[in-house]
Amino acid sequence: MDAYQLRLAEFLELTEKLNAQAKTVHSKMENNEEGQLESVQVLFERRQAVINQLSEYTKAAEFEWTSEDKKVISQLKGYEDEMQPLLNRLHQSFTTQMNRLNQTSQASKKYVGAYQTKSTEGSFIDQRK
Protein backbone atom coordinates (compact mmCIF):
# COMPACT_ATOMS: atom_id res chain seq x y z
CA MET A 1 0.00 0.00 0.00
CA ASP A 2 1.42 3.35 -1.06
CA ALA A 3 1.82 6.28 1.31
CA TYR A 4 -1.02 8.20 -0.35
CA GLN A 5 -3.31 5.18 0.06
CA LEU A 6 -2.57 5.17 3.79
CA ARG A 7 -3.51 8.87 3.89
CA LEU A 8 -6.67 8.14 1.90
CA ALA A 9 -7.62 5.37 4.35
CA GLU A 10 -6.95 7.75 7.25
CA PHE A 11 -9.08 10.39 5.53
CA LEU A 12 -11.94 7.89 5.22
CA GLU A 13 -11.60 6.88 8.89
CA LEU A 14 -11.61 10.51 10.08
CA THR A 15 -14.60 11.29 7.87
CA GLU A 16 -16.53 8.33 9.33
CA LYS A 17 -15.72 9.51 12.87
CA LEU A 18 -16.67 13.08 12.02
CA ASN A 19 -19.96 11.93 10.52
CA ALA A 20 -20.79 9.89 13.62
CA GLN A 21 -19.80 12.76 15.93
CA ALA A 22 -21.81 15.33 13.94
CA LYS A 23 -24.92 13.17 14.32
CA THR A 24 -24.61 13.23 18.13
CA VAL A 25 -24.31 17.01 18.42
CA HIS A 26 -27.60 18.59 19.46
CA SER A 27 -28.75 21.70 17.60
CA LYS A 28 -29.42 23.44 20.93
CA MET A 29 -25.89 24.19 22.03
CA GLU A 30 -26.76 24.14 25.73
CA ASN A 31 -27.91 20.51 25.41
CA ASN A 32 -24.49 19.28 24.26
CA GLU A 33 -22.03 17.68 26.62
CA GLU A 34 -18.91 19.60 27.53
CA GLY A 35 -16.19 19.14 24.93
CA GLN A 36 -18.50 17.69 22.30
CA LEU A 37 -18.11 20.59 19.87
CA GLU A 38 -14.38 20.72 20.54
CA SER A 39 -14.04 17.07 19.53
CA VAL A 40 -15.75 17.87 16.22
CA GLN A 41 -13.31 20.74 15.72
CA VAL A 42 -10.33 18.47 16.46
CA LEU A 43 -11.57 15.95 13.89
CA PHE A 44 -11.92 18.73 11.32
CA GLU A 45 -8.36 19.90 11.97
CA ARG A 46 -6.91 16.38 11.73
CA ARG A 47 -8.91 15.80 8.56
CA GLN A 48 -7.62 19.04 7.03
CA ALA A 49 -4.03 17.98 7.77
CA VAL A 50 -4.64 14.69 5.92
CA ILE A 51 -6.21 16.59 3.00
CA ASN A 52 -3.08 18.76 2.79
CA GLN A 53 -0.89 15.65 2.76
CA LEU A 54 -3.02 14.03 0.05
CA SER A 55 -2.80 17.22 -1.95
CA GLU A 56 0.99 16.91 -2.03
CA TYR A 57 0.76 13.37 -3.43
CA THR A 58 -1.75 14.30 -6.12
CA LYS A 59 0.40 17.17 -7.43
CA ALA A 60 2.87 14.69 -8.91
CA ALA A 61 2.64 14.53 -12.70
CA GLU A 62 2.55 10.72 -12.80
CA PHE A 63 -0.12 10.44 -10.09
CA GLU A 64 -3.29 8.55 -10.94
CA TRP A 65 -6.09 7.16 -8.74
CA THR A 66 -6.53 3.40 -8.83
CA SER A 67 -9.95 1.76 -9.11
CA GLU A 68 -9.73 0.86 -5.42
CA ASP A 69 -8.99 4.51 -4.60
CA LYS A 70 -12.01 5.57 -6.61
CA LYS A 71 -14.23 3.27 -4.51
CA VAL A 72 -12.90 4.92 -1.33
CA ILE A 73 -13.50 8.34 -2.86
CA SER A 74 -17.06 7.30 -3.68
CA GLN A 75 -17.57 6.32 -0.03
CA LEU A 76 -16.15 9.67 1.03
CA LYS A 77 -18.57 11.49 -1.23
CA GLY A 78 -21.48 9.60 0.35
CA TYR A 79 -20.33 10.62 3.83
CA GLU A 80 -19.86 14.22 2.69
CA ASP A 81 -23.38 14.34 1.23
CA GLU A 82 -24.75 12.95 4.49
CA MET A 83 -22.74 15.32 6.70
CA GLN A 84 -23.35 18.56 4.85
CA PRO A 85 -26.94 19.13 6.06
CA LEU A 86 -25.91 18.22 9.61
CA LEU A 87 -23.05 20.69 9.58
CA ASN A 88 -25.19 23.41 8.00
CA ARG A 89 -27.75 22.92 10.77
CA LEU A 90 -25.04 23.11 13.44
CA HIS A 91 -23.57 26.23 11.88
CA GLN A 92 -26.97 27.92 11.73
CA SER A 93 -27.72 26.95 15.33
CA PHE A 94 -24.36 28.20 16.53
CA THR A 95 -24.76 31.49 14.63
CA THR A 96 -28.22 32.00 16.11
CA GLN A 97 -26.95 31.38 19.62
CA MET A 98 -24.01 33.76 19.14
CA ASN A 99 -26.36 36.48 17.87
CA ARG A 100 -28.63 35.96 20.87
CA LEU A 101 -25.67 36.20 23.25
CA ASN A 102 -24.45 39.39 21.58
CA GLN A 103 -27.91 40.96 21.83
CA THR A 104 -28.17 40.03 25.50
CA SER A 105 -24.69 41.39 26.16
CA GLN A 106 -25.45 44.69 24.39
CA ALA A 107 -28.73 45.08 26.26
CA SER A 108 -27.10 44.43 29.63
CA LYS A 109 -24.35 47.00 28.90
CA LYS A 110 -27.03 49.68 28.59
CA TYR A 111 -27.90 49.25 32.25
CA VAL A 112 -24.39 49.16 33.68
CA GLY A 113 -24.22 51.86 36.30
CA ALA A 114 -27.83 52.93 35.81
CA TYR A 115 -28.82 51.69 39.26
CA GLN A 116 -25.70 52.68 41.12
CA THR A 117 -26.52 55.43 43.54
CA LYS A 118 -24.27 58.34 44.29
CA SER A 119 -23.21 58.75 47.84
CA THR A 120 -24.70 62.00 49.04
CA GLU A 121 -24.26 61.43 52.76
CA GLY A 122 -27.89 61.99 53.60
CA SER A 123 -28.52 65.09 51.56
CA PHE A 124 -30.77 65.31 48.56
CA ILE A 125 -29.35 66.87 45.43
CA ASP A 126 -31.88 67.82 42.82
CA GLN A 127 -30.29 67.39 39.41
CA ARG A 128 -33.19 68.76 37.39
CA LYS A 129 -32.63 71.87 35.36
Rounded to two decimals, what is the model's pTM?
A: 0.70
Q: Is residue 31 part of a domain?
A: no
Share of the chain above pLDDT 70, in %: 83
**Quick one: pLDDT band at residue 90, thresholds 50, 70, 90?**
confident
Buried b (16+ CB within 10 A) or exposed e, 68-95: eeeebeeeeeebeeebeebbeebeeeee
**Quick one: pLDDT band at residue 89, thresholds 50, 70, 90?**
confident
Give pLDDT tens digits for 36-72. 878 888 999 999 999 999 999 888 888 899 999 999 9
Task: Judge contact between 24 and 9, C-beta under 8 A.
Answer: no
Q: Is residue 62 part of a domain?
A: yes
Q: Is residue 117 part of a domain?
A: no
Q: Is residue 112 part of a domain?
A: no
Task: Give the separation between CA 56 and CA 97, rounded to whole angstroms.
Answer: 38
pLDDT over 60 (residue 120): no
Structural domain boundaries, residue 9: 1-13+37-94
Q: Is residue 103 part of a domain?
A: no
Q: Is residue 50 part of a domain?
A: yes
Q: Is residue 9 part of a domain?
A: yes
Task: Write the single-letter amino acid at 90.
Answer: L
- The full length of the chain comes to 129
Q: Is residue 45 part of a domain?
A: yes
Task: Give the separation between CA 60 and CA 85, rounded to whole angstroms.
Answer: 34
Residues whose CB falls within 8 Å of the CB of residue 26, separated by 6 or more in sequence, listed in order: 32
